């Protein structure tokens, strides 16, 4: 009798185990289908169901962390990347996923530790993960490293020489939390440095008919907040002293946050904190706005109405709309201007230089930070994928116009130009 009972129990356990294995395989096959089609939510759900029927190997737990990272579930992704190592040991692949998840969450020290550990692994433990590890190492360096450029701006303001009044040139900001610019000027009759508000200028007299050169060293400091830091932003209303950055502003034309078409979007993006609101607006941009610098303004609609109608635009339109939406949702914001620079180490020459516009937003508990409207990851990882030299913000305060053709200083009015429009940049 005992033998029969033992056989029945053993048979039932065997059948149950076989069924569990079949179910595990079925859901992992669904995971692969989701991976092939880019359906990361399907991947995540399938793996979680598979883990009900099996312990899960290294690939399953790594795939779960990977799928969650692609959905911006950074904290969950990091937890499962760590759980994978606890359950299945250390391999090149598990450490690559840990570094990837830690980078997304903003734990750069943990990402560095994972990569250092991978460097100590024997070749057989890497198992083809070398490229993934290198990608993580490159991203960590981009997120945390300092970029240094030796730049030469070639400029001709058509000033006319000593017989003509000096003109003002808006130059890269000399000192901000994100950049430092030191320079000399060559082949000008005279130039004086001027600092007005948050901007830096040169007051220039040229040699008639000749360009002059601004040559200097640009140091771009890393600025990547990560999801972890943004989760800690307190829930707080806009400070009173910054409420002027919630009003309409000038960026060529006037951009009005009170426009009904703008206000209709606000309920779908406004969130508990300023950081969450900005991220929602970035996500809205990703879904609704595409880049196309060939946009033509409808005179009846203006720049703001045109991009809202067409849902595409160049950097000027995109940054203007982004700032308008931030202000409408209660987040102080302004448009930033400058030039894009290559992010590799190769010498370059850009003629004419690529001017660019992005945004700055005020995040409670952090301060003014840069954001690229066309990159949904830029709030977390601004400097990881780009190098911009800032030439000032366009609307601090709102009536202060970056593109104005003149400047009043100490009772005198002078012509003003931006180095964004110079003849060329070399570096």
Q: What is the pLDDT of residue 9?
A: 47
Q: What is the pLDDT of residue 7?
A: 45
Contact 284, 268 (CB under 8 A): yes
Cβ atoms within 10 Å of 190's Cβ, excluding its own = 12
Which architecture, in CATH terms, is 226-400? Roll (3.10)
> How far from chain centre, in Å, is Cα 185?
32
Measure CA of the first residue to CA of the last residue in the chain; give whole Å. 88
Q: DSSP class of residue 175?
A: B
Residue 344 makes CB contacts below 8 A (sequence gap 6+) with none
Contact 257, 327 (CB under 8 A): yes
Q: Are strands 290-291 and 312-313 parallel, antiparallel or unpaired?
A: parallel
Low-confidence ranges of the chain (pLDDT < 50): 7-9, 12-13
Q: What is the pLDDT of residue 3?
A: 60
Q: What is the pLDDT of residue 252?
A: 80
Verify cis geometry, omega within 30 degrees of 0, for the bond prior to 397.
yes
> How far from chain centre, in Å, is Cα 263?
25
Residue 133 makes CB contacts below 8 A (sequence gap 6+) with 92, 95, 96, 99, 115, 118, 126
> How far from chain centre, in Å, is Cα 249?
23
Q: Which residue has the tokens 């450490």?
A: 95
Do 226-400 and 17-144 fall under one CATH topology? no
**Helix/strand/coil percentages in the chain, nearest 5:** 45, 25, 35
What fold does the segment set 17-144 form as a domain?
Answer: 1.25.40
SS3 of 333, please?
A: strand
Contact 282, 276 (CB under 8 A): no
Q: Residue 185: enclosing H or E segment and its boundaries? A: strand 179-186
As a three-state string, the secondary structure of 49-76 is HHCCCCCCCHHHHHHHHHHHHHCCCHHH
Where do the structural domains in the chain lie, given as residue ranges? 17-144, 226-400
Distances (CA, A) of 16 to 9, 20, 28, 47: 10, 6, 18, 20
Q: What is the pLDDT of residue 273?
A: 96
Verify cis geometry, omega within 30 degrees of 0, for the bond prior to 410.
no
């Amino acid at each position: 009798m005992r033998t029969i009972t033992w056989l029945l129990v053993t048979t039932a356990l065997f059948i149950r185990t076989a069924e569990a294995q079949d179910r595990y395989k079925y859901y992992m096959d669904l995971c692969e289908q989701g991976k092939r089609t880019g359906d990361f939510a399907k991947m995540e759900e399938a793996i979680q169901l598979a883990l009900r029927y099996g312990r899960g190997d290294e690939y399953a737990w790594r795939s779960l962390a990977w799928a969650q990272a692609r959905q911006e579930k950074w904290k969950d992704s990091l937890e499962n990347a760590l759980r994978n190592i606890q359950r299945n040991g250390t391999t090149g692949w598990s450490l690559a996923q840990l570094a990837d998840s830690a980078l997304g969450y903003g734990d750069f020290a943990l990402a560095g530790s994972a990569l250092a550990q991978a460097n100590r692994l024997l070749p057989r433990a890497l198992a083809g993960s070398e490229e993934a590890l290198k990608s993580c190492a490159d991203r960590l360096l981009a997120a945390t490293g300092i970029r240094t450029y030796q730049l030469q701006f070639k400029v001709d303001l058509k000033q006319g020489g000593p017989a003509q009044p000096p003109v003002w040139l808006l130059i890269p900001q000399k000192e901000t939390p994100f950049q430092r610019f030191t320079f000399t000027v060559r082949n000008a009759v005279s130039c004086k440095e001027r600092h007005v508000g948050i901007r830096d200028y040169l007051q220039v007299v040229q040699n008639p008919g000749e360009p002059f050169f601004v040559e200097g060293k640009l140091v771009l400091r890393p600025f990547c907040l990560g999801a972890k830091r943004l989760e800690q932003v307190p829930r707080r209303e806009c400070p009173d002293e910054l409420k002027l950055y919630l009003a309409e502003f000038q960026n060529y034309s006037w951009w009005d946050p009170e426009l009904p078409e703008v206000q209709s979007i606000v309920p779908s993006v406004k969130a508990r904190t300023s950081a969450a609101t900005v991220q929602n607006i970035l996500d809205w941009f990703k879904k609704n706005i595409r880049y196309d610098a060939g946009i033509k303004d409808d005179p009846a609609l203006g720049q703001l109405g045109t991009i809202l109608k067409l849902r595409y635009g160049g950097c000027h339109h995109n940054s203007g709309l982004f700032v308008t939406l931030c202000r409408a949702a209660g987040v102080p914001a302004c448009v930033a201007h400058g030039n894009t620079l290559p992010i590799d180490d190769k010498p370059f020459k850009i003629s004419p230089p690529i001017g660019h516009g992005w945004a700055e937003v005020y995040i409670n508990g952090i301060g003014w930070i840069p954001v690229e409207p066309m990159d949904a990851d830029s709030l977390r990882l601004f400097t990881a994928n780009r190098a911009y030299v800032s030439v000032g913000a366009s609307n601090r305060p709102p009536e202060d116009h970056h593109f104005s053709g003149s400047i009043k200083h100490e009772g005198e009015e002078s012509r003003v130009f931006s180095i964004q429009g110079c003849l060329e940049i070399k570096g």
